[in-house]
C-alpha cells in the first residue's frame, strides 16, 4: 500500500456518457503506454484458429490482466535478440554483451531483470532475484524461513488462500512431521462478510503469538481483490517476534509497495499477470537485506549465511566456475538462485519490464485508483442494493484494493452473463460459484473500455434475468 493517503475520485453527473469516458482518455498522461501492447482483436478471441494479431481489427476489451497480461510489442524484439545471440555466438552468449542488443549477456540477464523488478516492489536491487516460478519460489523461501520448534510451529494464512499457497504450506508442515490441522491457522472474515479487517488479522497474531513460527499472506486476495495493509501487519508481526512473508501474485505491478522500507522478511510473485511477461513466465522473489548477508569474519572458506536450499547459480560468479564445491553465496536474494535460468524466459520478462521502466508504480497506481473508481461508479450508478443483481465484494476504500473489482452475481446468472461478455468481445474471468473478476490495467486499458464493459455487462444481466 502507498504511504500517501489516496482519496476516492468523484465524478460529475455526465460521467455515464461515452463522451465523458473519451474525455478522460484524452486527458490521460499515460495513454501512450497502450501503444506498447498488442491488444487481442474481438475476432481472434472468439476464433478457434491460430491467427496473427488483428492489428487492423477492432480490439477486444481485455480486463483479465489479473490472470494473464497481454503481450508487449517489445517481446518479439527481445526474443529475436536472444535467439540471434544464441545462433550467432553460441555458448559465448553467456559472457558477451552484444552491441545493439537490449539484453545483457546471459550470466547477467537475471540481474538485469531484478534491477527493474526492484523498482516495482520497492526494494534494493540485491534484494530481488528473477528466478523459478511462484510456487517453487514459495517452497524455497519456506524451506529457509519456516523453522518450527516444539512450541512455535504454526503458520498463519488467509481463509481463501490460493490453492498453491495452501498446498505449499501444508506440505512444509507435513515435511516437519507436524499435523496441518494443528499447525495451520486460517484467518477469515466475519460471518456474512468478505473483507478481512486488519484488526482481525492483528488479533489472530496476538492470539497465536506464542505458537506461531511464520505468517504468509497474500498482498492482494485473489478472489475478493482485497489489498492487505502490508506495512502495518508486517510491523505488528515483528513486534510479536514472528517472521512474515507475502505472496504478491496479484500485487506485483498492480499496487505501489515498499518491501524494503516496510521491513518485509520475504516475498514471492509471478510476472505474468499485471507484469505481462507471458504465460507461466519466470517469477521473482524478495529477501530483505538483513536475511541475505554473508559473513566472512571466520575466513573466506567459512562463510556464514542464512540456510537455504542451495544451487550453484546462487554462488558468487567470481568462483562459480571453479567447480570446487565450496559454496560462496551471492549476498542478497541472488544467493537463493538454483540453476541456470532460461534466457528465453528472461528475455520475455525484460521486454515487459522495459515498459515499466518508462513509468513508475506511483503514476500507474494513481491512474489505477481513478479507473477502478470509475468502474465502480458506473456499475452502481442508478441502482440500489435492493434491485441490483450483483454485489461488489471488493472493498470500496481505494487503500484496500488494487485494479480488480470482484462482482458476486445472484445465483444462476454467472454462466450466461460470462458467455454474453465473451461474445461481445470482453475478456474477464469468472470464479465459481458466482464471481466475475474485472481488472482494468492502467498500462493498456482505457476509460472507454470501462464504459463499454459496463454497457455490455448491464445488457447481459438484463437479458439473463428476462430468461430466468
In a domain, 329, yes or no: yes
Cα–Cα distance measured from residue 182 to residue 179, given in angstroms and rounded to the nearest whole number:
5
Consult the annotation and say whether 272 binds a ligand. yes
In a domain, 97, yes or no: no
Q: Which residues on neighbouring strands pair with residue 64, listed in sequence order?
A: 439
Which cell goes with 349? 520478462
In a domain, 268, yes or no: yes
Consult the annotation and say whether 145 binds a ligand. no
> What is the distance of C-alpha 357 from the center of its chain?
17
Compute the average pLDDT of residues 134-144.
98
| Residue 154 parent element (H or E) | strand 154-158
Whether residue 134 is found in the same domain as residue 191: yes
Consult the annotation and say whether 312 binds a ligand. yes
Which cell goes with 24? 478522460
Whether residue 276 is found in the same domain as residue 131: yes
Compute the average pLDDT of residues 215-227.
97
End-of-domain residue from the set 322, 337, 354: 354
Whether residue 180 is found in the same domain as residue 300: yes
Q: Are the CB atoms for 380 and 118 separated by under 8 Å?
A: no
Number of domains in the chain: 2
Consult the annotation and say whether 163 binds a ligand. yes
In a domain, 73, yes or no: no
Please check the confidence at residue 54 and state whether its pLDDT lies above 60.
Answer: no
Q: Which residues on neighbouring strands pair with residue 41, listed in sequence order?
A: 59
**Please, which contacts does 88-92 make with residues 24 or more away whose CB atoms are closer than 8 Å?**
none
Whether residue 129 is found in the same domain as residue 59: no
Consult the annotation and say whether 134 binds a ligand. yes
pLDDT at residue number 2? 42
pLDDT at residue number 4? 42
pLDDT at residue number 6? 58
Domain of residue 258, CATH code: 3.40.640.10
Consult the annotation and say whether 162 binds a ligand. yes
Whether residue 347 is found in the same domain as residue 422: no
Number of helices followed by number of strands (H, E) in the chain = 14, 15
- Residues, the chain: 468
Task: Place 162 in a pLDDT band, splitting at 50, 70 and 90.
Answer: confident
In a domain, 207, yes or no: yes
In a domain, 4, yes or no: no
pLDDT at residue number 61? 97
Whether residue 316 is found in the same domain as residue 189: yes
Please check the confidence at residue 123 and state whether its pLDDT lies above 90.
Answer: yes
Task: Place 1 in a pLDDT band, splitting at 50, 70 and 90.
Answer: very low
Which cell goes with 428? 474477464
Compute the average pLDDT of residues 282-292.
98
Please check the confidence at residue 56 and state whether its pLDDT lies above 60.
Answer: no
Whether residue 150 is found in the same domain as residue 230: yes
Model pTM? 0.95
Consult the annotation and say whether 440 binds a ligand. no
Compute the average pLDDT of residues 8-35.
97
Cα–Cα distance measured from residue 26 to residue 247, given in angstroms and rounded to the nearest whole number:
36
Residue 296 to residues 192, 236, 301: CA-CA distances in angstroms?
55, 32, 8
DSSP 246-275: EE-TTTTTTS---TTTTT--EEEE-SSSTT
Whether residue 321 is found in the same domain as residue 370: no
Please check the confidence at residue 417 and state whether its pLDDT lies above 80.
Answer: yes
End-of-domain residue from the set 305, 334, 354: 354
Instruction: Determine the Cα angle at 219 with ends 218 and 223, to 5°.
Output: 60
Which cell goes with 103? 539484453
pLDDT-wise least confident of 262-266, 358-362, 386-390: 386-390
pLDDT-wise least confident of 49-53, 74-78, 236-240, 403-407: 49-53
Q: How far apart are the first and last CA of the chain?
A: 42
Per-residue pLDDT reduced to its tens digit, 333-381: 999 999 999 999 999 999 999 999 999 999 999 999 999 999 999 999 9
Please check the confidence at residue 7 and state whether its pLDDT lies above 80.
Answer: no
Compute the average pLDDT of residues 89-107.
95
Q: For residue 65, give the 3-state DSSP assignment.
A: coil
End-of-domain residue from the set 305, 339, 354: 354
pLDDT-wise least confident of 142-151, 208-217, 294-303: 294-303
Whether residue 266 is found in the same domain as residue 336: yes
pLDDT at residue number 301? 87
Whether residue 247 is found in the same domain as residue 374: no
In a domain, 93, yes or no: no
Whether residue 234 is found in the same domain as residue 285: yes
* 405: DSSP letter: E
Range of the domain at 27: 18-66+361-466
Cα–Cα distance measured from residue 420 to residue 336, given in angstroms and rounded to the nearest whole number:
46
Q: Are the CB atoms for 379 and 413 separated by under 8 Å?
A: no
Which cell goes with 249? 501474485
Per-residue pLDDT reduced to its tens digit, 100-120: 999 999 999 999 999 999 999
Consult the annotation and say whether 324 binds a ligand. no
Consult the annotation and say whether 156 binds a ligand. no
Give the closest residue to 454 by CA, choosing from 416, 428, 434: 428
Which cell goes with 208? 497465536
Q: What is the dihedral of CA 28, 34, 35, 37, to 10 degrees?
A: 170
Consult the annotation and say whether 457 binds a ligand. no
DSSP 416-438: HHHHHHHHTTEE-EEETTTEEEE
The sign one gets for the Cα dihedral 114, 115, 117, 118 is: positive
In a domain, 84, yes or no: no
Tell me whether residue 19 is exposed, middle or buried, using C-beta atoms within 10 angstroms of its C-beta: 0 to 12, 13 to 18, 19 or more. exposed
Domain of residue 378, CATH code: 3.90.1150.10
Which cell goes with 100? 545493439
Cα–Cα distance measured from residue 453 to residue 381, given in angstroms and rounded to the nearest whole number:
14
Give the closest residue to 129 by CA, choosing from 235, 321, 259: 259
**284-287 and 266-269 as β-strands: parallel, antiparallel, unpaired?**
antiparallel
The pLDDT mean for the chain works out to 95
Whether residue 121 is found in the same domain as residue 52: no
Amino acid at each position: 500500500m502507498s504511504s500517501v493517503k489516496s482519496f476516492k475520485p468523484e465524478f460529475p453527473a455526465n460521467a455515464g456518457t461515452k463522451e465523458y469516458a473519451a474525455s478522460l482518455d484524452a486527458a490521460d498522461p499515460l495513454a501512450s503506454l497502450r501503444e506498447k501492447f498488442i491488444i487481442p482483436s474481438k475476432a481472434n478471441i472468439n476464433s478457434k484458429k491460430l491467427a496473427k494479431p488483428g492489428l487492423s481489427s477492432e480490439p477486444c476489451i481485455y480486463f483479465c490482466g489479473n490472470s494473464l497480461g497481454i503481450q508487449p510489442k517489445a517481446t518479439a524484439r527481445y526474443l529475436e535478440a536472444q535467439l540471434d545471440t544464441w545462433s550467432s555466438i553460441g555458448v559465448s552468449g553467456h559472457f558477451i554483451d552484444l552491441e545493439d542488443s537490449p539484453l545483457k549477456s546471459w550470466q547477467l540477464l537475471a540481474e538485469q531483470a531484478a534491477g527493474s523488478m526492484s523498482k516495482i516492489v520497492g526494494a534494493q536491487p540485491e534484494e530481488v532475484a528473477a528466478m523459478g516460478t511462484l510456487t517453487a519460489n514459495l517452497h524455497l523461501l519456506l524451506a529457509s524461513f519456516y523453522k518450527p520448534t516444539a512450541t512455535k510451529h504454526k503458520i498463519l494464512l488467509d481463509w481463501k488462500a490460493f490453492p498453491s499457497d495452501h498446498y505449499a504450506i501444508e506440505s512444509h508442515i507435513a515435511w516437519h512431521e507436524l499435523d496441518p490441522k494443528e499447525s495451520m491457522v486460517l484467518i477469515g472474515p466475519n460471518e456474512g462478510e468478505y473483507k478481512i479487517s486488519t484488526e482481525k488479522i492483528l488479533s489472530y497474531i496476538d492470539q497465536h503469538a506464542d505458537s506461531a513460527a511464520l505468517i504468509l499472506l497474500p498482498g492482494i486476495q485473489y478472489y475478493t481483490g482485497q489489498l492487505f495493509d502490508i506495512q502495518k501487519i508486517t510491523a505488528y508481526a515483528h513486534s510479536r517476534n514472528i517472521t512474515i512473508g507475502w505472496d504478491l501474485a496479484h500485487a506485483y505491478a498492480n499496487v505501489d509497495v515498499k518491501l524494503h522500507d516496510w521491513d518485509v522478511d520475504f516475498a514471492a510473485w509471478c510476472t505474468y499477470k499485471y507484469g505481462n511477461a507471458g504465460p507461466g513466465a519466470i517469477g521473482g522473489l524478495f529477501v530483505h537485506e538483513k536475511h541475505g548477508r554473508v559473513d566472512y569474519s571466520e575466513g573466506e572458506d567459512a562463510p556464514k549465511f542464512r540456510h537455504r536450499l542451495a544451487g550453484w547459480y546462487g554462488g558468487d560468479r567470481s568462483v562459480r566456475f571453479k567447480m570446487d564445491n565450496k559454496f560462496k553465496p551471492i549476498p542478497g536474494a541472488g544467493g537463493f538462485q538454483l540453476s541456470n535460468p532460461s534466457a528465453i524466459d528472461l528475455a520475455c520478462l525484460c521486454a515487459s519490464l522495459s515498459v515499466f521502466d518508462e513509468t513508475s508504480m506511483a503514476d500507474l497506481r494513481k491512474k489505477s485508483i481513478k479507473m477502478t473508481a470509475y468502474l465502480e461508479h458506473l456499475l452502481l450508478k442508478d441502482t440500489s442494493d435492493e434491485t441490483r443483481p450483483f454485489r461488489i465484494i471488493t472493498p470500496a476504500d481505494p487503500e484496500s484494493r488494487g485494479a480488480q473489482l470482484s462482482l458476486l452475481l445472484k445465483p444462476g446468472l454467472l454462466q450466461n452473463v460470462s458467455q454474453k461478455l465473451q461474445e461481445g468481445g470482453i475478456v474477464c474471468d469468472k470464479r465459481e460459484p458466482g464471481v466475475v473478476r474485472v481488472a482494468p490495467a492502467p498500462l493498456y486499458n482505457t476509460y472507454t473500455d470501462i464504459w463499454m464493459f459496463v454497457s455490455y455487462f448491464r445488457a447481459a444481466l438484463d437479458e439473463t434475468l428476462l430468461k430466468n
